[in-house]
Amino acid sequence: MSDDKKSKNTQSTSEEKLEKLFQKDITYIPKKGDVIEGEIISSSKSGIYLDIQGLTIGVVRGRELYNELEEYSNLKAGDKVSAIVLELENERGEMELSFREAGQKKAWDNLFDLLKKKETIEVKVIEANKGGLIVKIGPIVGFLPVSQLSPIHYPRVEGGNKTKILEKLKKLIDEKVKVVIIDIQEKEEKIIVSEKETEEIKKKIFNKYQIGDIVEGCVKEVVDFGIFVEFDEGLEGLVHISEIAWQRIDNPKNFIKVGDKVKVKIMGVKNFRFALSIKKTIENPWEALMRNYKIGQIVKGKVLQFNPFGAFIELNKDIQGLLHLSEFPDQLIKKASDVLKIGQVLNLKIISLDPNAYRLGFSIKDVKQDEEEK
């Protein structure tokens, strides 16, 4: 007789014996893969024995004993527990069972329930890669992509350097984060979770703040393109370099430092990221400029820095203008630095004023002509 026939005959005999036993009290006959309940008779290192409704004995042994669900820890005689049927009858006539697979099934069922309810859960970060974080949800492993991190955990890295992103993500290993499940692919054993989609984060963002609100925050990081400000227990936004001040800012690190307290105006929210402005929290100095200055007026200005077209001049702490090379007395000058020094104070004439474009033009040659005429 072939092994296949022997196996079929053995399985048939096992099912017939079980059918006779279960027909005493119930009509349900378990099959391989079914979840059944039993009462623990004894427990030892070699295995745990269960009474299956007084009709047969089940055994859980080897790797099938291990499961991370709490209900399978510290088991003792008399406890009722669920297990999955691996074999209807083993070599000793016992039903072969598994806690491991039963726990896995229960865990997956629980995950689908959490997905449906969009319920927030707390998970532990166990690993990190360049795409995100690996988290543990009971006995199941899930993935938290970088794009689904909350603003407080999002790795801000200039230029998107993947090595630096990974370094920041690794700092979250062993931390606990609150997430919601957003996708499950059981066959591939893939679970995608999101931190930014939790109701807690959503409520903070959409129920509390509106565009135009002014809030106080703390500078968390200064980069070439702006500064990141944290406010209200972890909410965070970017003040772009163009929104730091009304005057020209070439390097934010020369203007502000980590730890500084600042007032910011909420300019927008997109994908859970705030766009903030510091300069919009104060009066536009260009409006005051129109009230206090006019074209043709002689003023004092300090040389702030040079550029290929001339020199930037500081009229006051909020207003800067350009002294173009064409406005120097000597038309042969190729660089402003040849005749001027940083910090030098000059008498200048305002020759153009456009507050809408934030542009102010100065001249030296006209001032000298005026002085010579007097």
At residue 344, the pLDDT reads: 93
- For the question of whether the overall pTM of this predicted structure is more than 0.75, the answer is no
Per-residue pLDDT of the chain in tens (374 residues, 90 and over written 9): 555 554 455 555 555 655 555 554 555 678 888 888 888 888 877 788 888 877 788 888 877 777 655 566 677 888 888 888 888 888 888 888 888 777 778 888 888 998 888 888 899 999 999 899 999 987 788 999 998 888 778 887 766 778 888 999 999 999 999 999 999 987 788 899 999 888 776 676 667 788 899 999 999 889 889 999 988 766 788 999 999 988 778 889 988 998 899 999 999 987 667 899 999 998 888 888 888 889 999 999 999 999 999 999 999 888 889 999 989 887 677 889 988 999 999 999 999 988 888 889 999 886 754 444 43
Stretch (H or E) spanning 95:
strand 95-98
The reported pLDDT for the residue numbered 212 is 92
What local confidence, expressed as pLDDT, does residue 154 receive? 82
| Backbone angle region of 233, left / alpha / beta, with phi > 0 → left and psi within -120 to 50 → alpha | left
CB atoms closer than 10 angstroms to residue 52: 21
Whole-number pLDDT of residue 370: 47
Left (φ > 0), alpha (ψ -120 to 50) or beta: where does 74 sit? Answer: left
| Whole-number pLDDT of residue 73 | 67
Six-digit token pair at 61?
């042994």
Residue-level pLDDT at 159 = 66
Torsion-angle region of residue 9: left (phi > 0), alpha (psi -120 to 50) or beta?
alpha
Q: What's the token pair of residue 68?
A: 């991370």
pLDDT for residue 191 = 92
The Cα–Cα gap between 296 and 302 comes to 18
